[in-house]
């Protein structure tokens, strides 16, 4: 059928014409992410240290990681931090979005102030935190003592260590979470609130029946984003506690780093890496599913 052949030919030439435009982005991703990721599968199935030829060992690295209490500790810490950080961020972000939407003077200036932590590097933030919360002389510790409260003993108590890391992470990333929810709140048409008011709905009712359902997609999106990104948390922990004392505040990314670059165990590090990838994929599956639907809609 000549028409079909012509169609296929046109499609092919079109592909040829568009390929050079896609090449830079796709080549970067292919060489820096995809091929190395495949290489990790091979690494995870072999023993290897830096500079030595790898030897195939099957699933031994995975068995080693799953039998390592440090790994389970790191995974438990990561899950705790993810749950605390993401949910506190969502609550605070939602509260701030509602506050901003209720009408504030000098809104632009306030927005600039709220966004400021976005510009701060993890390193500078850790510098400030380490000083403010210093267990002996930090101003925040002193203020807490002055109020008769206990300070954060984060250099000796793992629970306090995790709390300080979570606080730092929330401070750095709240602007992002807030903005996503705030944008969704501004997209809610004012008429809906008018209508709710005319129907005699109370403030609480209009929040539960109008605001919350309409904000849900944005909240879920922010939640997924943050689940995925907090799960790979490294810098905040490394800069605050280095996983100490005695590896009690390790998170999975720190565990991986120590295996690879301190103990030179590339095999177990790679296995840990693939375990991280799998968990990320599971976390991301919901996001991707939604994105695919959106792309279908876009393509239609």
Work out whether 284 is an interface residue with other proteins (CB under 8 A).
yes
Count of beta carbons in the 10 Å neighbourhood of residue 72:
13
* Contact call for residues 237 and 254 (beta carbons, < 8 A): yes
Enumerate residues 20-39 that contact other proteins by CB under 8 A: 21-22, 24-26, 28-29, 32-34, 36-37, 39
Binding letters toward other proteins, positions 137-176, x by CB under 8 A: x-x--xx---------------------------x----x
- Region binding other proteins by CB under 8 A among candidate stretches 56-64, 79-87, 155-163, 178-186: 178-186
* Contact call for residues 181 and 222 (beta carbons, < 8 A): yes
Work out whether 293 is an interface residue with other proteins (CB under 8 A).
no
Q: Tell me which of 45, 184, 219, 230 binds other proteins, using CB under 8 A.
A: 184
Work out whether 52 is an interface residue with other proteins (CB under 8 A).
no
Enumerate residues 236-255 that contact other proteins by CB under 8 A: 238-239, 253
Q: How far apart are CA 76 and CA 85, in angstroms?
A: 14
Least distance CB 190 / other proteins (angstroms) = 13
Work out whether 4 is an interface residue with other proteins (CB under 8 A).
no
Q: Tell me which of 153, 201, 228, 286 binds other proteins, using CB under 8 A.
A: 228
Work out whether 56 is an interface residue with other proteins (CB under 8 A).
no
Q: Tell me which of 47, 68, 70, 122 binds other proteins, using CB under 8 A.
A: 122
Nearer CB in complex with other proteins: 176/207: 176
Q: Tell me which of 10, 186, 212, 216 binds other proteins, using CB under 8 A.
A: 186
Work out whether 224 is an interface residue with other proteins (CB under 8 A).
no
């Amino acid at each position: 059928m000549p028409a079909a052949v012509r169609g296929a030919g046109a499609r092919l030439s079109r592909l040829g014409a568009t390929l050079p435009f896609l090449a830079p982005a796709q080549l970067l991703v292919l060489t820096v992410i995809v091929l190395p990721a495949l290489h990790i599968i091979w690494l995870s199935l072999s023993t290897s240290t830096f500079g030595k030829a790898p030897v195939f060992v099957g699933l031994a690295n995975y068995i080693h990681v799953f039998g390592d209490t440090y790994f389970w500790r790191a995974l438990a810490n990561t899950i705790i931090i993810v749950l605390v950080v993401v949910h506190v961020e969502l609550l605070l972000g939602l509260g701030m979005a509602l506050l901003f939407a209720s009408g504030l003077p000098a809104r632009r200036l306030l927005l600039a102030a709220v966004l400021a932590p976005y510009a701060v590097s993890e390193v500078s933030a850790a510098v400030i935190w380490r000083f403010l919360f210093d267990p002996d002389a930090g101003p925040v510790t002193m203020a807490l003592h002055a109020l008769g409260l206990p300070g954060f003993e984060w250099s000796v108590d793992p629970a306090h260590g995790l709390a300080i890391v979570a606080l730092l992470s929330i401070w750095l990333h709240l602007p992002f979470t807030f903005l996503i929810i705030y944008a969704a709140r501004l997209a809610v048409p004012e008429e809906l609130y008018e209508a709710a008011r005319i129907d005699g709905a109370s403030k609480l009712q209009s929040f539960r029946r109008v605001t919350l359902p309409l904000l849900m997609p944005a909240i879920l999106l922010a939640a997924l984003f943050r689940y995925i990104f907090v799960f790979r948390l490294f810098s905040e922990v490394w800069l605050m506690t280095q996983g100490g004392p005695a590896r009690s505040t390790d998170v999975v990314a720190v565990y991986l780093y120590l295996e690879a670059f301190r103990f030179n165990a590339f095999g177990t590090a790679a296995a840990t890496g693939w375990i991280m990838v799998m968990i990320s994929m599971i976390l991301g599956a919901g996001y991707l599913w939604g994105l695919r639907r959106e792309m279908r809609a876009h393509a239609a």
